[in-house]
Every structure is written in C-alpha cells, then in structure tokens.
Amino acid sequence: MADTTWRTDGVTPELLRALRDGGHSRFFVHPADRSAVVAAVRAHEPESVAATLRAADEVCAHRVPLLGRGAVELGDPIDWHRDPVSGLRWQLRHHSTIDYLDLERPSDVRVVWELSRCHHWVTLGRAYWLTGDEHYAAEFAAQWESWMAANPPGFGVNWTCAMEAAIRAINWLWAFFLFAGAPAFDEGRQGRLLAALGEHARFILRNLEIGPRPGNHYLTDGLGLLALGTVLREVHDSQTWLGEGRRIVWGEALRQVTPDGVDYEHAIGYHDGTFPAIGDADDGSLVDLGRRDPRSHRATLAAGATLFGRSDLKAAAAAFGAANLWWLGPAALRAYDAIPERAEPVGSRDFTDGGFFVMRGRGRHLVVSGPGGGPASHLHHDLLSFECWADGTAYVLDPGTYAYSGSREWRNRFRSTASHNTVMIDDLEQTRLLEDPNIFPAERDRSARFTLHRWQVGKDLDCFDGEHTGYTRLPEPVIHRRQIWFDKRQGIWAVRDFLLGEGTHSVRGFLHLAPLSVTLESSAPWVVRLAGAESGLVIVWSPEPALSVTVGEGWLSPRYGVVQAAPVVTYHTRGRLPVVITFALAPFAAGGTVDTDALRRWAQGLA
C-alpha cells in the first residue's frame, strides 16, 4: 500500500520568515494589510461585515452553504467523505480506484468536493480579521486538523480530481495569511499546512487533466501550480510548479478564450450583471469572498474596470464591492473611484467565435445560442435556442443544469433538446451527445454543423439567421433554420422556424418560461400571456392549420442542485416539409395591452 502519511519536509524557518516579512508581494492578502483592509470594508461595505459574521457563526455550528442548497448541516465531527445531502459516504480508497462519475450511485460528488474546497475557512478568516475573535481561528484549526487526518494524500474522493486539489490549495493559501497571527494557528501548524500545500502541488503535477481538447479543469490545475509556486518559492521543486503553472495558464488562456472573449466550452457559467445560463453551470467559484448570486459577475466587472481603467466595465459593475476590497485592497478602490463615470450604451453584437448572438436595446435583451468551438464536455442540446429578458425580468429561460452526477436521468434531462427553447424533429435529439456514456463527452457530434446566414445590426431592426444540420442524419434529412428579428423602437421580437428537407415529420418547439402566471388566451390565433407583478409578455403565433399550442409543466434549475416546476409552452405540428412556423414576443407594462393582430401582421411581414 502506498505511503498515506503527510510529508513534513521542505518548510524551513526561512520560508516562514519570508512569508511573514515579505508575503504581501506573493499573495493577495497579508497580515500587514489587515488594519487597512478592515477599515475599508467597515467604512464602505458595512452590510458585508454583518453578513460575514453571520456566515462565520454558521460555519462554527457546522452549517455550511453548499452550492444552491443553502446551509447544510454537517454534524459533529464533520465527515469529509460523506455527501450531507444524500447521506451516502465515499470509501477511503486510493483515488485511482474511485469512479466519482458513477451515475448509478445516487450521490452527486460535486457536493462532497464543494465542502473540501474549504471556501468556508476563508469566511472564518475574514471574520477573524474583522473581529479578532479567537474562536474563529480555533474553529479553523480544528477543522483543518480534522481534514488532514481524514484525507491522507492521494486517498479518498477529495483526491480524485486535480482541479479540486488546486482550488483547495488556493483557499488554504488564503486561510494561511488570514490566520497567520492567530495563537491557534501557531508556527507548527503553519509549517505543516505549507508542507501539505507542497503535497497538493506534487499531486496536481502528477495528475494534470490534459486531453486532446483541454477544458477548465486543466486551466485550474495550472492556476493552482502558479499560486503554489509563487508563494512557496523556498520549497524544493517550487520553480517547477511555477514554470509549469505559467505555461499552462498563459497557454490555456490563449487556447480556451476565443478571439471575441468567450470561454470556448460554450458554457456561460464558466465565465467568471446578470447573465443567461446557456450550457453547464455548477455555481462553482475559486474563492468565496462573500456569497454571490452565481449568475452575477458584477464583482469581476469591477475588478476588470480597476485593472484596465475601463469606464464601460465600471458602468456595468455598478459598485466596487466587498469581495474586491478583500483581494485587491483599498488602493484599488481609490483607483476604481478615479475612473470617469461614462456609461456608454451597450448595443447588439455577435460573438461568432464563441457561439453567441446578443440583441439588446431599450431594456430588452435576447441571447441566441450557436455552436461552441471547444470540447463537448459542458454542451447542452441548445443550438438555435434563446433566452429573452425585458426591463430586468426574465421571461424565456434556459432551464439550467441541476446536477452533474447522481442521476443519469436528470443529467440528461437538463441537457436535452426538449429542455431548451428550440425545435425537436420526430421527438429526437438534435445531436447524439446523450448517446455517449460519458456525461462529459470530449467530442461533439460532427453531424450537427451550424451555419450563420446573416447577422445584421441596424438602427431600428436587428436580424439573426442561422441553421444547424443535426437532423440531416435522419433517413429523410431535415435542416432547422431559425430567423429572429428585434424591433428596437417597439422592443419586440419575431421568431421564424423553417424546417427544410424531405418527407413528413413531427415538429415540436419549446419555450421554457419563468415561474410566472401563464394563460393560454386564444387558439385563433394562438396567444399565450405571461403576467408578473409589474410587467408581462405576450406570445402570438401566425395561423397554421395543423399547429397546436399547449401550456404544461417543465423544470427550472435556478441554482446547481435545485430544481423547481416552471411552465413550458409547446408548439407542435406534423406535416410534409417544408414547414414554416412564425411567432412574436412583446413585453408590456402592468395594466398595458398588446394589439396581438398588429403584432402578428408585423411578424408575418418580415423578410
């Protein structure tokens, strides 16, 4: 059996002195910065102080937020191998013998991993800086000792993924500097923690997640090595970690970010305001410096504004935020405040390399999903799907992800064509990804090719026109072509679906709606109305003899691990191709009306 003990070599008094005296040049926080950071947080983000202390007290009570589930009871002592949601426990075996993606096991490994990322130790550390209360430091030390005893290097589910080791290591670095002055975290524990970080670096280096088309895992592996090599410069082999980390991070940043700035895995949740949920999203983060809405990247926009002096990013961010005070410091806030206040209007634009097309203006926002250029790991069957928002309210939504492992049925349900706002032919999937037994397939279905016919942004009218060939694999091939128009003056959209090819086919389209009141108002023509507290949306179809429209119940996953019922509109016809279906969407204010006949005529007249 392999050695399961933690190494204690490599950490010298010189390293500890270097981190105490000059560590501020190696990491984001350092004890020397404590008074300035605390004063700035208290002065500029007082609400975050109270929220941090409440969260830290929950951690001391062993209640920790895990993904979308809110505070989860962990028990005492904490079992680091137990899924606290399902109650199932992973065996302590060598990581190479554990199949953590076993879909026959009703336990989502993501939950166990999330706990051992140790975000909550950073919460304890921030509370310690804010208050000086030693019981936060004592709780951290006790939990860290418990984790070390339960997770010998290379053994157990928390060592099955190099990315998890990298994320954990970065959170441990934060904890090290936040607790460096605490009596409970004495020099002996500091030395052991740094030595354990060396074990993490060696594990990552031995288990890099590289393949023909590397994804976010490999990039995060490199980020962990880069951070560890930067901080632990005096440790043997640290130059290897630093060099490999630099090579991976810069190389993968160039590879995995498309020329128009999009993650090439085509999953918006893997970018770090409010944004659509196209592709996979697991609510994960590198470091948690305050509980955030997983669909909000405002803190990242504020950081970008500060680092690059961008007024447009500042306007989108709205505020600097407590998270940026913690990792960029008070001087960065002063730099942010000095950036001119120029909120330039953001209009429609295409991200052709990244596979997204955005129509926006006058409070309206619609995003169309095209193809991604990277691995298929996080793709959904969402070609030509769209989301639309009006005046801050979401109406037509991508249902989300729900979960990765634990259930093949639910994983595939949220990836399926029927769970997206697109069209299904003969009740078949638009691509064959779900036939792959791997829930994170590396290769995409090459038969589902996308062609952009037109992307036109005008003063008053935008137009998207694209098609995919996913259904040309059928004995009687079918092409789905979709056109979308956006009238900026009226703030309305029209969608036209062309089903081109041979033979007679069933054509079924889906519109997954926000959990609002939905009424099927008319069948001649078909009209659906969504009503919120202050606004609503009308959807009207052009008359087609065989067309039917129904309102049923679907599923929405607003957070990872959370599922709720939500309305879904299905429009269906069966006939000999070609088939053309046109519908329009018009938002309205509370108490307002929509002339559905005029809306339908407008949509029919577009070309």
Pair (361, 322) in one structural domain = no
> What confidence tens digit (pLDDT) does each residue in 202-238 have?
999 999 998 877 888 999 999 999 999 999 988 889 9
Pair (365, 250) in one structural domain = no
Tell whether the model's pLDDT for residue 1 goes beyond 60: no
What CATH number did the domain enclosing 233 receive?
1.50.10.100
pLDDT at residue 268, as a whole number: 66
Is the Cα torsion angle 564, 69, 295, 422 positive or negative in sign?
negative
* Structural domain for 303, as ranges: 297-344
Give the chain's mean pLDDT.
90
- The CA R_g of the chain, rounded to the nearest whole Å, is 26
CA dist., res. 268 & res. 356, Å (int): 10
CA dist., res. 174 & res. 323, Å (int): 13
Tokens describing residue 605: 């007249």
Burial profile 534-550: b = 16 or more Cβ within 10 angstroms, e = fewer: ebbbbbbbbebeebebe
Q: Is 446 helix (H, G, I), strand (E, B) or coil?
A: coil
Pair (52, 132) in one structural domain = yes
Q: Is position 401 within any domain?
A: yes
Q: Is position 217 within any domain?
A: yes
Q: Could you tell me the pLDDT band of residue 267, with boundaries at 50, 70 and 90?
A: low
Pair (356, 324) in one structural domain = no
Pair (173, 304) in one structural domain = no
What CATH number did the domain enclosing 489 receive?
2.70.98.70
> What confidence tens digit (pLDDT) does each residue in 412-422 have?
888 899 999 99
Tell whether the model's pLDDT for residue 271 goes beyond 50: no
Adjacent-strand bridge partners of 359:
366
pLDDT at residue 314, as a whole number: 93
Last residue of a domain, one of 226, 256, 286: 256
Pair (125, 150) in one structural domain = yes
pLDDT at residue 409, as a whole number: 82
Residue 557 exposure: Cα atoms within 13 Å on the Cβ side = 27
Pair (379, 501) in one structural domain = yes
Pair (384, 317) in one structural domain = no
pLDDT at residue 249, as a whole number: 96
pLDDT at residue 34, as a whole number: 95
Tell whether the model's pLDDT for residue 239 goes beyond 60: yes
Contact yes or no for 568/552 (Cβ under 8 A): yes
Pair (446, 545) in one structural domain = yes
Q: Is position 271 within any domain?
A: no
Q: Is position 279 within any domain?
A: no
Pair (318, 387) in one structural domain = no
pLDDT at residue 292, as a whole number: 65
Tell whether the model's pLDDT for residue 243 goes beyond 60: yes
> What confidence tens digit (pLDDT) does each residue in 455-490 have?
999 999 999 999 999 999 999 999 999 999 999 999
pLDDT at residue 274, as a whole number: 41
Last residue of a domain, one of 327, 344, 361: 344
> What confidence tens digit (pLDDT) does each residue in 338-364 have?
999 887 788 999 999 888 999 999 899
Q: Is position 550 within any domain?
A: yes
Q: Is position 1 within any domain?
A: no
Pair (445, 503) in one structural domain = yes
CA dist., res. 160 & res. 300, Å (int): 29
Name the more confident of 190 and 412. 190
Q: Is position 286 within any domain?
A: no
pLDDT at residue 142, as a whole number: 98
User: What domain count does the chain have?
Assistant: 3
- What percent of the chain stands above pLDDT 90? 66
pLDDT at residue 424, as a whole number: 97
Pair (146, 238) in one structural domain = yes
Tell whether the model's pLDDT for residue 508 goes beyond 90: yes
Q: Is position 8 within any domain?
A: no
Contact yes or no for 550/520 (Cβ under 8 A): yes
CA dist., res. 114 & res. 222, Å (int): 19
Stretch 177-194: mean pLDDT, rounded? 94
Stretch 187-213: mean pLDDT, rounded? 93
